[in-house]
Structure 1
Amino acid sequence: MNIQTAVLPPHAEMVRAMLERDTAYEGVFFTAVKTTGIFCRPSCTARKPKPENVEFFAHADECLCAGYRACLRCKPLDAAAVAPDWVQRLLSAVDADPERRWSDAQLLAEGIEPLNLRRWFKQHFSMTFHAWLRTRRLGMALGGIKQGTSIDHAAFDSGYESLSGFRDAFQKSFHITPGRAANSEPLLFTRLTTPLGPMIAMAERRGLVLLEFLDRPALTREVEALQNRYGYAVAPGHNAHLQQIEAQLADYFAGKLSEFSVPLHLPGSAFAREVWAALLQIPYGQTSTYGAIAAQLGKPGASRAVGLANGHNRLSIVVPCHRVIGADGSLTGYGGGQPRKAFLLRLENAALQLTQQLAF
């Protein structure tokens, strides 16, 4: 599975989409108007500015960090939390008929432009729609093999006429052969949308294993380590843990949730797990430092090691490494980017202050 940083469409195409209010680009980029200081969805019905007065951003948080305010008409922060209608309809159709093959002609018949679909899936899933569909079918085959389905039947049910073709595709996707799949641990993943951009969540039967922003540079290495070091077979899908984290993230960003209860499973070294456990003890709306955590663990000279373990945390937000700052009060590094770290700390601080005010 390859995770790549999202790339914006060509400038001319974004200008066209903005002027024509093209809904196909919902969630793909945001428009920010220099003369008004406001940012919008591409399809906003407000009067369109001159193209030379517009900046384009991939994520809503980038607009906020550049000093722009959200448009009150199109509510781009709300839009950042949902896939566009045409994508939702397609995903519902896939769920209803998972064995259906979608050609470009069929997509066009449903009013979906294949190029726009490819671009949206590349940004939000880091793979094309057809690659996602193929991996999803292989994931269903993986589940069948785990439950005792023969490899021949799994291959046929996945639409493969050649058993060798199925084996090759299976091993390419999951880094294991179908014969070893019965002893592997499926790690299901799904895309989640947030006001800070798309995230990927991965969970197995014991709990949530990974939650990261899709543009995190280390994401590819993290996924490969889960596959190669811990034997996971990674596939698109859903389970109760993924549903739970989706709901809890929505409440967190709405300022309604200060502590996550989704079960967690944290593969890693003993020391890394100690550090992650210490991160979980940092109260909502407060911060700590590498030195303080090292002292808490009884290893006052291990600040650097604590920093490394903190950077290897795979569960953004839930295991709150964003609450760790430098000894001088600086934000220091954050895998999701310092603008996101600042956003999360502001969100928690504001929600905490509001709760305290209501308590009096």
Structure 2
Amino acid sequence: MGHWTFLAVTVVITALAFDFTNGFHDTATAMAAPIATGALSPKMAVTISGVLNLVGAFLSTEVAKTISGGIVDDSLVTPTMIFAGLVGAITWNLLTWLVGLPSSSSHALFGGLIGAVLVGAGTGAVNFDTVVEKILVPAVASPVLAGVVALIATFLAYTITRRGREREVDRGFRLGQVASASLLSLAHGTNDAQKTMGVITLTLISVGVLKPGSGPPVWVIASAGLAIALGTYVGGWRIIRTMGKGLTDIRSPQGFAAGTSAATVILASSHLGFALSTTHVSSGGILGAGLGRRLAEVRWSIAGRMALAWVFTLPAAALVGGVSAAVAKQGTPGIIVICAVAIAIAVAAYALSRRNPVDAANVTTAETAPVLTAA
């Protein structure tokens, strides 16, 4: 039986740091629409979302098993490779958060891990069939599916309520939005927290603390759930603004349709072991809801920039993960260098964000263009 090492502890801490960035990066997936329509105040929205992300982390571990024993050969993976992959994912999360682009934290993690393993162990250590089947195909299909469902749901919502009083209809859908956004937050915790669980489990397997094929222990589930919940509570305001006001002008029936559609797709996929991007699914739902309302404006230029970021997420994170793995191969000095660079990037991203701050007080303004132009 293996034992804990300093590097293993460092990797676990880095994985939880990624989970925290995942939380504030992806808060918009659930709460952008209800904040935009006024169904929930910004602070109340992130509080509810944080609590439900924590609860959701305990509902399933199928996605965690996909990561810990699916996309890479766990017998060939070392803690150094996992550390490098996490650095790639965190770097991409911070850069896209800075410019307000709702890219996929999930694909950043997959890309970083794949790049690091390719450099560290070669192509034979990556299960490309699993990558295609459970990551790439769902990445293309899930936002389309969520968009179609949301489009139909929006059309039906307006059709069924067209004779109702506008104020009463709006009030009813706002209450529905609270329920659908809460369900989506639960789904986010169920799907995304598991990815960090999978990475930590993979680390424990690689040092022999757990047997190959093991699922995540309870303490891993709890710590991953808490990290993503705290990150969610912090609130990724820059991305919330883009999704809530940038793609289309969301009204309460659309917000309800988008949230319900996205939650349904994500929860179904979690129990099948498909590691979906909640960002992709939620964005697809919002676009579908925009198309489902007659005369609604969909800002395709912003949607195009988002899609471009999605395309580059895997290779960009893989590149950073691969370079980090090459440097980390040099031993402790290399790992120290990577840590120093990662911390510098985080500090720089935060400092730059203060030049154009977005917070709970101004998140519902429509100033999305300057942020996205920076991309």
TM exceeds 0.5?
no
When the two structures are superposed, what TM-score results if normalisation uses the length of structure 2? 0.27
TM-score by length of 1: 0.28
Structure with greater helix share of residues? 2
Structure with the higher fraction of residues in strand conformation = 1
Which protein is bigger by CA-based radius of gyration?
1
